[in-house]
Structure 1
Amino acid sequence: MDYLPDDNSRYNDVDYWDERYKTEQSFDWLGCFSKFKHLLEKHVKQEDSILILGCGNSSMSGDMYSAGYRSITNIDYSSVCISTMGARYSHCPGMTWQQMDVRQLSFPEASFDVILEKATLDAIMVEEKSPWEVSPDTACFIHQALTEISRCLKPGGRFVSVTFANPLFRKRLYARTEYNWSINEYSYGEGFEYFVYVMTKGEGLSPEDAALEKKILEDRKAPPPMIATQSEDEEDFLSNIDLT
């Protein structure tokens, strides 16, 4: 069965995912757990309480469980996904599955040592035309999600984001003082590079990231540049160039 949607907007449609999960067994965006396991092991301890956002039907949770991570909460907004995956891993004590929106996490503050997402935010931004500046609606969605993630992290907890977006674009979203975290970046992959961002709750932004935040805020306040136009009855601008 071909799971490729007719339009990228379908990636934001829960009905699309419900239908897909009824027949698709498993799919791992950005590669399987083994591809970035060496990076995760540096920041996630086996005894950590872990929340996985937008778990989908990825094998990542099961692979992490097999690797010794035993306190894993998985959420997805597709009820079909949660039902299917819950049944698939019913033999794994300590692994739970809940239907939930990443913008409204129903957990108390400071609930998790680690919150992990792999390509979930990428899917949210799939319709964006420019990586430099996302649309107001998407920016609001991402901000709500990141605010909830920060709220649910314990002091010293880590938000791990696995994505295809390089630092030039993705750090523009993560570098905000109000999230109260630092940002470190890593990469993996052969032929095509993927990125892993680790945000640590309670640590401040680096001078470089603080400067990035400041520049973004200043750019938003600046008036749009004036663009000079020429009326149709004016002489062609090329004839005004002095070539002597």
Structure 2
Amino acid sequence: MDYLPDDNSRYKDIDYWDERYKTEQCFDWLGSFSKFQHLLEKHVHKEDSILILGCGNSSMSGDMYSAGYHSVTNIDYSSVCVSTMSARYSGCLGMTWHQMDVRQLSFPDASFDVVIEKATLDAIMVGEKTPWEVSPQAAVFIHQALTEVRRCLKPGGRFVSITFASPLFRKRLYARTEYNWSIKKYGYGEGFEYFVYVMTKGEELSPDDAALEKKLLEDTKSPPTTIVTMQTKDEEDFLFNIDF
């Protein structure tokens, strides 16, 4: 595809995204909203205040607005993306767009009922070489982002992560007592399964997830990571480009 980078590490490069967003109209990583709408409706209410991390040019925000979710804040670190999407949805009252780093959210504590990310963390992790070890830089990045998510969630708020990463790898990232949330896992997709993780702030980790955290703390050679390699259909996907 025209938008595939020469090296998948460029998925973390803001210049790559700025150039891409100048011409690309829309791309939905991991499928459109309709594919997982039935899962979100169980955890996200129409009256909720919602923050979407790394919104990109996905149709998800607009589709959610059409479905009745009218308090939606979108952030992306590409100014080109934010400008384009803000203009595209200028008629949607209650929908806002901001250039922002997921590691340093400019919102007060307990601002949102729901925080959603779809493939944003996958993009951050795409340059990692193995599903069992992650670079110190990536580990710090992810931890900073999750700490900000926790801070911005209201008590009882939900963090929804939509990803290609299976529980074997993704739960290593999320199962931390310090985040003060429980973890539930769901799946969707035909032929190829994607995953939806719902973390609820103020709930304890399950015994299994707590045991996983304990094991990871005891084994310093197994830091959190999210990378898994599989093939998808004939569409652009991080999975197809991960280097091993």
Could you list the structure 1 runs, at least 4 aligned residues long, displaced by more than 6 angstroms after superposition.
none
What is the distance in 2 between the residues matched to 1:169 and 1:21? 30
Where does residue 123 of structure 1 map in the other structure? Answer: 123
Equivalent residue letter for 1:197: Y
Deviations 1:168-226 (A, max 9, x none): 0000000000000000000000011000000000001000000000000000189xxxx
**Are the equivalent residues in 1 in contact too, given 2:182–2:199 (CA < 8 A)?**
yes
Equivalent residue letter for 1:32: S
Greater RCO structure (CA 8 Å; 6+ sep): 2
Where does residue 112 of structure 1 map in the other structure? Answer: 112
Where does residue 53 of structure 2 map in the other structure? Answer: 53
What is the distance in 1 between the residues matched to 2:199 and 2:130? 24
Where does residue 188 of structure 1 map in the other structure? Answer: 188
Where does residue 154 of structure 1 map in the other structure? Answer: 154
Length-normalised TM-score, structure 1: 0.90
Deviations 1:104-163 (A, max 9, x none): 000000000000000000000001111122111100000000000000000000000000
Q: Does 1:28 align with 2:28?
A: yes
Where does residue 232 of structure 1 map in the other structure? Answer: none
Equivalent residue letter for 2:53: L
Where does residue 103 of structure 2 map in the other structure? Answer: 103
Equivalent residue letter for 2:216: I
What is the distance in 2 between the residues matched to 1:193 and 1:44? 21
What is the distance in 2 between the residues matched to 1:67 and 1:100? 26
**Are the equivalent residues in 1 in contact too, given 2:112–2:154 (CA < 8 A)?**
yes
What is the distance in 2 between the residues matched to 1:127 and 1:177? 27
Identity %: 85
Equivalent residue letter for 2:162: V
Where does residue 73 of structure 1 map in the other structure? Answer: 73
What is the distance in 2 between the residues matched to 1:117 and 1:34? 16
Where does residue 204 of structure 1 map in the other structure? Answer: 204
What is the distance in 1 between the residues matched to 2:54 and 2:131? 21
Equivalent residue letter for 2:137: D
Can you give the 5+ residue segments of structure 2 that lack an aligned partner in the other structure? 223-244
Equivalent residue letter for 2:62: G
